Amino acid sequence: MNDSDFRLPDDCATMAEVRAGVDATDRALMEMLDRRFGYMRAAARIKQQRGAVRDEGRKAEVIENARRDADKRGLPADALAQIWNDLVEASIAYEMDEWGRIRA
């Protein structure tokens, strides 16, 4: 089953269909994360000062946006805010590494 063949959640009738949908969704999430980390590479290229990589105000804004969006969708907002915190921290670490690599 390729990504275009999976069923949407409400259309699943078997666990095989559910698993195929989860796997397709995970691949799509990874593609989106690849793009997100591409933006971190761009930020590392654009920011001239290493200290500009960590922006606590922006971090809080991103996490709050995720929490609010999750809440609107009826998803577990606190758990997803924690995932976003981890994602932002991983992004900052990646951007720091890229910042150093570019300027090495």
Percentage, residues of the chain above pLDDT 90: 94
Q: Is 47 annotated as a binding residue?
A: yes
Run of H or E residues at 32? helix 15-46
Residue 2, pLDDT score: 58
Distance (Å, rounded) from C-alpha 38 to C-alpha 30? 12
Q: Is 45 annotated as a binding residue?
A: no
State the residue for tokens 């001239």: 48
Q: Is 19 annotated as a binding residue?
A: yes
Residue 1, pLDDT score: 47
What is the total count of domains within the chain? Answer: 1
pTM (2 d.p.): 0.90
Residue 60's domain comprises: 3-102
CATH of the domain at 24: 1.20.59.10
Give the tokens for residue 32: 């989106």
Tens of pLDDT along 9-47? Answer: 999 999 999 999 999 999 999 999 999 999 999 999 999
